[in-house]
Amino acid sequence: MKTAMAADSKQERQRAGAGGELDPAALAALPLPPCPGVVGMIETLRRMRNDSLSFITRMSRDYGPVSRLPLGTETLIFLSDPDLIGEVLQKRAESFHKDPVTRKLEESLGRGLLTSENPVWRAHRKAIAPLFKRSHLEAWAAEMVQGSEAMVDAWQLPAAAAAGAAAAAPTQEVDVASTSLRLTLGIVFRTVFGAEVGDVSAEVGEAIDEMMEQFELELRTWRRFVPKSWLRGGRRRVAHARAALDKVVYGLIAARRLRPLEDGDDLLGRLMLARDESGAALTDEELRDEAVTMFVAGHETTAIALAFACWHLGLQPDLQRRLREELHAALGDRPPGAADLERLPLLRATIQETLRVHPPAYVVGRTALHDMELGGFRIEAGNAVLMSQWAMHHDPRYFPDPDAFFPDRWLNGLEQRLPKFAYFPFGGGPQVCVGNHFALMELQLCLASIVRRVELGAPAAAGVRTSAAVTLRPAVPMPMQLRLCAPAGKVAAGEA
């Protein structure tokens, strides 16, 4: 049925001409996507409130590749077919804007790449994309490794037991969620702002946490359906948090202008040198919005993925041993560098699998700008079209045993065989995450720096409760028992 429906949809678009849209009469004749009935709606809304990941998955699996959920004055459309996701994110991207949830982030993040639309988005994207070219990424590799090495030193872990020792060495409990956040906070401060975190880290963290907490409350609770004038307390807290964040960021911008802009590899200095198509530089407000967007996007999401990678390695000591052996064979006793990553396939596969099982960006949304056909159904102007990385990454059609953490699945060419949008941890199309290569390099270098020196003991529980808010993040601490590894040669020889 799905294949026939997709074929019919393609034929209709061909008959409609190059624009790919049907005439009004043909559109009006198309059915709306299926949706839950009255009883199903009650269960769907209960699941949406209590377990949004299960809700997203069940919408796709209960109602097909295109489904609909009327929600008050809104209508949500769910897509769970890679080709249809590609239609929205890539082939027909000009027919969509960002969804209301993403646009609402503008209250906190400003009009950066994440929230803006054309022409602001296009001008900023053109100015920012060259900042992430390969040579610039490699210049930041040392910052990532040095930060990771310093974090391991600060843990002051007990050493591994000597070969043949009667008892294992003691371990030390470390919350990998909070320490990963501190690590990526320092890296993003140095790479984005060219500054050390210093005394402002707590202030910045608290401001962002407050804004994201209020955002989640207004998105997931009754607050979504009432006038904003009723939310004065929450609105005041958002305004106060944004003012605190702005004070820090505008201070960093002012301090950066006092140094030669060509001095250093930080993104802020490069943004100040960038020019749009008209030759104009970014204003301080535009610099603030892009810097904050990069800060938030490059801080929490990377920390979440790094923490989950450590967590899963702790649960699979054989996988951890294999990864350490790969690192030792490629690096010996030295820290990793950007040039080493091509020789570390298991490391990359471990990160790919982490982003599959626990995608920090778990759903992406667009708003239809006009009535259109999609998958044989009529999508109406203003409908919010949601495409979930979580649902696609756990779809057994593309990932057998989808809940299992199995990096080896990526070692036999899976990425090349998959439909393009069956796996899209960084989005896709023209608005794919501009920092995706930065994030992948950071995750690989940080994880390699940790695993080559630290034995990740099994965590207290096999799973960890997550919170699906702006990102898919741990809802509780992630304590693990850690200790320093035996010398690399002994690990490789099986003596540890």
Residues 263-285: tens digit of each pLDDT? 777 888 888 888 777 778 889 99
Q: Are strands 372-374 and 454-456 parallel, antiparallel or unpaired?
A: unpaired
Residue 246 is assigned to a structural domain of this protein: no
Local confidence band at 368 (pLDDT 50, 70, 90 cut-offs)? very high
pLDDT of residue 400: 96
pLDDT at position 51, please?
76
Instruction: Give residue 428's pLDDT.
Output: 94
Residues 270 and 144 sit within 8 Å (Cβ to Cβ) = no
151-160, 388-397, 463-472: which range is least confident on average?
463-472
Burial of 142 (0-12, 13-18, 19+ CB in 10 A): middle
Cβ-in-10-Å burial (0-12, 13-18, 19+) of 216 comes to middle
Q: What per-residue confidence (pLDDT) applies to 399?
A: 97
Q: What is the reported pLDDT for 324?
A: 97
Rounded mean pLDDT of 342-351?
98
**Within a domain: residue 62?**
yes
Question: Which among 284, 192, 209 has a CA at the least distance from the CA of 244?
Answer: 209
Neighbours of 416 (CB within 10 A): 6
What is the per-residue pLDDT for 199?
61
At residue 41, the pLDDT reads: 64
Mean pLDDT of 187-212: 76
Overall domain count for the chain: 1
Contact between residue 80 and residue 65 where contact means Cβ atoms under 8 Å apart: yes
What is the rounded distance in angstroms from the CA atom of residue 350 to the CA atom of residue 234? 40
Q: Is residue 434 assigned to a domain?
A: no
Is the pLDDT confidence value at 406 over 80? yes
The answer to whether the bond into 227 is cis (omega within 30° of 0) is no
As a whole number, mean pLDDT of residues 219-240 equals: 71
Please give the Cα distance from 365 to 91 (Å, whole number).
15
pTM recorded for the entire structure: 0.88
Q: Is residue 375 over pLDDT 90?
A: yes
Of the ranges 207-216, 372-381, 430-439, which is most confident?
Answer: 372-381
46 pLDDT more than 70: no
Res 102: pLDDT: 82
Lowest mean pLDDT among 35-49, 183-197, 298-312, 437-451: 35-49
What is residue 64's DSSP assignment?
Answer: -
pLDDT for the residue 155? 93
Q: Give me the CATH number covering residue 368.
A: 1.10.630.10
Q: How far apart are CA 124 and CA 128, in angstroms?
A: 6
Poorest-pLDDT segment among 13-17, 100-104, 469-473, 481-485:
13-17
Q: Is residue 22 part of a domain?
A: yes
pLDDT band at 36 (very low <50, low <70, confident <90, very high): confident
DSSP secondary structure code for residue 94 in this structure: G
Higher pLDDT, 20 or 436: 436
Q: Which domain holds residue 391?
A: 1-98+362-424
In a domain, 315, yes or no: no
Q: Return the top range by mean pLDDT from 125-134, 425-434, 443-452, 453-462.
A: 443-452
7-34 burial, b for 16+ CB within 10 Å, e for fewer?
A: eebeebbeeeeeebbbeeeebeebeebe
* 190 in a structural domain: no
CA neighbor of 251 nearest in space, from 238, 267, 268: 268
Q: What is the pLDDT of residue 201?
A: 65
- Comparing C-alpha atoms, which of 48, 74, 78 is closest to residue 66? 78
Query: Percent of the chain scored above 90 by pLDDT?
Result: 45
Examine the pLDDT at 27 and tell me if it is beyond 50: yes
pLDDT for 224: 64
Q: What does the pLDDT read at residue 49?
A: 66
What pLDDT is attached to residue 237?
A: 84
Higher pLDDT pick, 394 / 192 = 394
Integer Cα distance of 33 and 84 in angstroms = 13
For the chain, the straight-line distance linking the first and the last C-alpha, in angstroms and rounded, comes to 56
Residue 66 placed within a domain: yes
pLDDT at 12 over 80: no
Mean pLDDT, all residues of the chain: 85
Does any domain span residue 90? yes
- Cβ neighbours of residue 415 closer than 8 Å, sequence gap 6 or more: 352, 423
